[in-house]
Structure 1
Amino acid sequence: MPKYCACFLFIICIWSAQSQVPEKIGDTLSVVEQDSLKRSKFFKQIGNGFFPTKYIDIDLRYLIKFNQYEGFRTGLGGRTNNNLSEKYRMVGYVVYGFKDHHFKYSIGGGFRISKSTDTWVDFSYTDDLQETGSSTILTDKRFFSFFEPRLLNISLFHHHITKNVSLEHRLTPYLLSEIELSRSNITPTYDYTFFVDDDAYKEFRMTMAKISLQWNPFNTFESDGDIEIEKDGFPNFTLQLSKSFKDVLGSNFNFFKADFRTIYKFDINPEGSSFAEATLTGGIAAGKTPLTHLYHTYPNNLDKQTILQRFSVAGINSFETMYFDEFFSDKFATLQLKYYLKTFDVSKHIQPQIVFISRMALGEMDHLERHQDIEFKTLHKGYTEVGMEVNKILFGFGLSFAYRYGAYHLPEFADNVAAKFTFNISL
């Protein structure tokens, strides 16, 4: 199946690229205006994570990545665009992990119910990995980051085969929603046993319903020709509710999850040359929930002996001194505060910016005895770290330093310190 998917995506991408024929424009002014609009549309699509061709938009997320379990992960993904059909779409990807020697893939499609509200019904079949303890927000797939540095260090994954149907709908210009029904077979790639009701589970079957809401009440909209550009306003809010149903399509467990996030940015001075950002996240899992669907609170530190051995790339909103797989929670909250100073105009290509950071996390875990063959701690004492970044020193690269203090401070000084690269680019 993965080979057929790969061939299918490769053929349609080549076909769509070769099908592009330049249009003839009557006069020079029209040529300039059309070129400007095309450039604006092109960079908007690149910023959303897609490289446009005539009929297929190539998904940039699947070209190349790296993590500790798969090693290099590379492949091809894409979706059909409005030039092929405004009412129907196909999406899919195929990737290969060079360390685990396995193909992963997803294939699906959908149809649009309403153009004015951007309402779509989608179906998909996915055979892939997911990070244990991560909480995937449905509406986040509409947003794209060129570089996700935290992925480099992740090692704890579970394999899942998931069939789902979803409904995307824009309730208002400021409120996105998505509902999903899914059926998954889940197998951890590490030693783990979940004990519940006198039964031991090493594989899980889950039938789940999710509803996700992304509310951006302060966003603004600007027109650039026939293109409408949405600009972020703050604060914004994300809420997702999830429910697993036992004995529905063979599902093993009943549990409920609620995830919340809000981001607020505000200028420190009238010119906006320095500003602050606060990110508050929280989640709760109630019921008989395996570790795969609990919370890890965004760690990003390798469990190595020296600072240089742990030297990697800093994340965007991760705890840089917290070791991977060190803590898990069934209820948690994090607060991250960042203060961005005005950039230093050293030269045209060197304009560093200093950022001061403070991070806090609090978590709990009920029924620790259910989780066997794996060791971890809880965050009931409260986790704290401070840090500083010097970003965009050269070609988007910078440096990050963080220090772990408080209740989870470690005996050896060096174990509390994290030094890393940062990487920031923007279109």
Structure 2
Amino acid sequence: MCYKGYFKYLLVALLLFTAVTAVNAQNTIVTGFVTDAATKQPLSYVTVSFPGTTTGINTDSKGRYTLSTSNRSYTKLQVSFVGYKTSIIDITPGKEQTVNVKLQPDNTELDAVLIRRGKKKKYSNKDNPAVELIRKVIANKEKNRPEAYNYVEYKGYERLNFSFINVSENFSDKKFFRRYKFLLDNRDTTTVPGKNLLPVYLNEKVYQYYYSKNPERKKTTVLGEKGVNFGSFLDSEGIGVYFKHLYQNVDIYANSTVLVTNEFLSPISDAAPSSYKFFITDTIVVDNNKVVELSFTPRNTNDQLFEGSIYITLDGNYAVQKADLTINRKINLNWVKSMHIMLDFARNTDGRYYLSRSNTMADFGMSKNKKGGLFGQRLATFNNYVTNVPRPDTTYQGTQEITSDAVKHRSDDFWAQQRQDTLTGPQSKVYANIDSLGRMKSFRRTVDIASLFLFGYKQIGPFDLGPANAFYSFNPVEGFRLRVGGRTNVEFSKRVLLEGYTAYGFKDQRWKYFLSGTFSLNNSSIFRFPQHYIKVGVQRDTRIPGQELLFLREDNFLLSFKRGNNDKYLYNDNYRIDYLKEFSNHFSIGVGLRKWTQEPAGSLYFDNSINGLANRVHDLTTSEATLTLRYAPHEEFYQGKVYRKSFINKYPIITLNYTKGFKNVFRGEYDYNDISLNIYKHVFMKKLGEADIWIDGGNTFGQVPYPLLTIHRANQTFAYDPISYNLMNFLEFVSDHYASINVDQHFKGLLFNRIPLLKKLKWREVASVKSLWGGIRDENNPDLHPSLYEFPKESNGAPITYALGSKPYVEGSVGIENIFKVLRVDLVRRFNYLDHANIADWGIRTRIQFIF
């Protein structure tokens, strides 16, 4: 290489060095450790700040801190902690420097608490000024909430973005990724110092919010919404709903908040003094008002609590002026490496404070030690805050959130004016980049293959072929079963969904089929809430009476494996029309008409006695009208193309079903009425974890054979199912009246977190109990009425089907979940009716689940 070449590289290196030095010279960066001068032990949660400002940070569990600023007028560092003398240290502006601080214990009496040198006083709530302050904050919570006003309105802006973390810069140079260089080189290095972010998802919303106290009404009018579009291959809107659920609004004044599906107790909740330790760490002046910095940490690091600091006003309102919250890293939480929530409050004209900015940032990844992963941020800002100004009643009436397709097509000028927080350069390119990505054939092909493996469907133009896990299965009646089918997608139509399949059993040598068409009756997609559609379908297929699993299709290949004898099937012929209308308050009405023919298959039979003579019935036909009323207040869910997944919240889901059978209508053989009520509720139990509770009850009015009674949910697979009885045999119990309660308890590591090995494995305890009461009235007892179908029996005459007696059926389980983060294993025990033939007293059941 010639000297000119050396000189060129030397010049470039010199310029880079000069540039880096110039950048660093603009910032003051101070790092170090804070320790007790007497014991030499590190001090946690010590406040390190620049005096007279709100720029500061708390030391971590090892007493370490890093504080930086671009303001070169800061020449001093202040280190303060309750029970120690405040230390003021000179620093050099514009340089990176190390400052280790040894705090001297304060030997003076502070608010009747004596601090002795070299001896750490045990933390206590009694006579603790920090606890006295937090109790005043708790006492004044209600008046500091926006709902304390008779009327409130403001304009809000929300932004949700996700990025890959520290993606190698060499990726775009590799042959396979060169075509994606425009995306891979769009990196953000400013949002989070020290992290290289590659933005891939962005959603923004601007809205106007109105609140009326008496009567209480809330209304949100969406002014504009904009999000990335991955095309028809990925459900962009559904992904957005799921991401928003992970980042729910953090209300510091509420007793708790739910983040990543877990409940966290607020540091100013009513129970905060018994769950947190509080320390007065600083007093500062903000806008001529004195504010106390109150730091807090969990009493028990295993509990799902926050740590950080809140700033409390001393103007008599004891309002929160600022909050800095992090999730305790020691808790048993999957996939989340860290989470940081920053809340800023602005002073209103009446002197009260309102939330002006909420910023939640989180790192997601397989392991907390790996540098890669996914970074998510939810930013919300609020301005134009107006209180106690009434509007016309029409302002507050109607649905709680009003939106339309028009708001999703706002111009760039609209967003430039309405966006309350400026996008970074890389963020501003996300919309165009993802749009370009969605049009690339190579990307569409990759997503298509991934969709087949993850979701079981292969897109072929306007048609999705699948699901793949049902192409092949087997059972005792059909033998080997082959199936092929699919559904149309949005490329075919957003308002019309056609789906169907055909299947063939090589043992029974019968064809099965299904065909349906769903037609949207509103102007939005059939897949979007609120749904309003009519559905017409016809189906002929096999079914196991009493099998109603919560998560899997009946013809899923994995369900081919069952315990015990399970050769009692039905051939079902269904012709039906269904109508569904959902309302914005999450109340829905479903009406249906059905002609249903049941033909016994395998070893199942329909036998009765007519005039004392045995009779075998070929099939049973009924004509029914159904009504379903469902109410799920504040429900949120991920809406897939043919299914929904509801997200847990604190509100119940109530479903009422009514069925009327008509005799002599379309060959219907019986008149009857059937009514059932189901209530589901997810209960957050703080330190005890969470519980899923199902309460069921029903009654059948009229004399009908056992296939029209309630055949209770049984499960003879090896998968654990929360709503079925996992040690009950198919067709074992039938009832014309029943009540049940199922409780599935998740203790979230309540005990295991106290055992070192199990805590490291992050296993969690689970338990369940299921109780079922029921019976059959004399009118439906085939022993008293031989014209009814007799209960099925084994070939040797041993009974298979029973009515419940005076005692309930009870089973329970204990187990471990979160094995390898995805596996749950339960040991299930059946407690009674143990004299029934071919039943299992004990069993081990497993389930794959993805939980935080």
In structure 2, the gaps of 5 or more residues are 1-178, 187-197, 203-226, 240-450, 525-529, 783-787, 793-798
Compare CA radii of gyration and give the structure with the larger one. 2
Counterpart position of 1:192? 606
Question: In structure 1, how many angstroms separate the alpha carbons of the residues matched to 2:456 and 2:734?
Answer: 34
Match of 1:56 in 2: 463
Preserved contact between residue 728 and residue 839 of structure 2 (Cα < 8 Å): no
The aligned residue for residue 268 of structure 1 is: 685
Q: Does 1:353 align with 2:764?
A: yes
C-alpha contact (below 8 Å) 2:238/2:638 kept by paired residues: no
- Is the aligned partner of 1:85 residue 2:493? yes
- 8 Å contact kept, 1:321–1:402: yes
Residue identity in the other structure for 2:776: M
Deviation per CA, 1:64-121: give whole Å up to 9, x if none: 5555544554423322122211232211122334554433211122322213542222
Out of 779, 803, 809, which is 1:378 matched to? Answer: 803
Secondary structure, aligned partner of 1:328: strand
Deviation at 1:208, TM superposition (A): 1.1
CA–CA distance in 2 between the matches of 1:347 and 1:67? 40
Q: Does 1:41 align with 2:238?
A: no
Measure the CA separation in 2 of the matches of 1:56 and 1:349: 47
What amino acid is aligned across from residue 353 of structure 1 in structure 2? R
1:238-284, Cα deviation, whole Å (9 max, x unpaired): 221111100112211111111221111112216xx821121112222
**Kept in 2: contact 1:191–1:373 (CA 8 A):** no
Structure-2-length-normalised TM-score: 0.40
Q: Residue in 2 aligned with 1:128?
A: 541
- Name whichever structure is richer in strand by fraction: 1
Q: Which aligned pairs between 1:207-218 and structure 2 lie closer than 5 A? A: 207-218=623-634
CA contact (8 A) 1:125 1:163 kept: yes
Question: In structure 2, the residue corresponding to 1:421 is in which secondary structure?
Answer: strand
CA contact (8 A) 1:175 1:215 kept: yes
CA RMSD of aligned residues (A): 4.2
Say yes or no: does 1:277 pair with 2:692.
Answer: yes
The residue that corresponds to 2:578 in the other structure is 166
Which residue identity does 1:360 align to in structure 2? S
Q: Which amino acid aligns with 1:426?
A: F
2:483 is aligned to: 75
Distance, in Å, in 1 between the alignment partners of 2:645 and 2:836 is 51
Taking structure 1 as reference, are residues 333 and 71 closer, same or farther at Cα in structure 2, changes over 3 Å only? farther
How far, CA to CA, are the matches of 2:518 and 2:729 in structure 1?
40
Distance 1:150 1:115 in 2: 39
Gaps of 5+ in 1: 1-23, 303-311
Distance in 1, Cα, partners of 2:519 & 2:723: 35
Mapping 1:194-233, distance limit 5 Å: 194=608, 201-220=617-636, 231-233=647-649
Q: Deviations over 1:269-320 (max 9, x none)?
A: 16xx821121112222221323222223222358xxxxxxxxx333232223
In the alignment, the residues of structure 1 paired with residue 655 and residue 579 of structure 2 have an alpha-carbon distance, to the nearest angstrom, of 17
Q: Do 1:94 and 1:106's aligned partners in 2 also have CA atoms closer than 8 Å?
A: yes
**SS at the partner of 1:292?**
helix
Alignment of 1:314-353 (within 5 A): 314-343=720-749, 351-353=762-764
1:352-385 deviation per Cα after TM superposition (whole angstroms, max 9, x unaligned) = 3321111111111132222326232211321122
Tell me which amino acid in the other structure corresponds to 1:425.
Q
Return the alpha-carbon distance in structure 1 between the equivalents of residues 659 and 764 of structure 2.
39
Give the letter aligned to residue 731 of structure 2.
D
How many residue pairs were aligned? 381
Residues 680 and 694 in structure 2, CA contact (< 8 A), matched pair in contact too:
yes
Cα shift readout 1:312-359 (whole Å, capped 9, x = no counterpart): 333232223323332211221211112212156879996433211111
Q: Note closer, same or farther for the CA distance 1:184–1:296 as it changes in structure 2 (3 Å cut).
A: closer
1:216 alignment partner AA: A
| Identical positions, percent | 18
Which amino acid counterpart does residue 192 of structure 1 have in structure 2? F
Provide the rounded CA distance (Å) in 1 between the counterparts of 2:480 and 2:575: 26
The AA in structure 2 aligned to 1:180 is G
Q: Secondary structure at the match of 1:319?
A: coil
Structure-1 residue corresponding to 2:828: 402
Whether 2:667 is the aligned partner of 1:250: answer yes
TM-score w.r.t. length of structure 1: 0.74
Using CA pairs under 8 Å that are at least 6 residues apart, name the structure with larger relative contact order, 1 or 2. Answer: 1
* Residues 111 and 314 of structure 1: CA distance in aligned 2, closer, same or farther (over 3 Å): closer
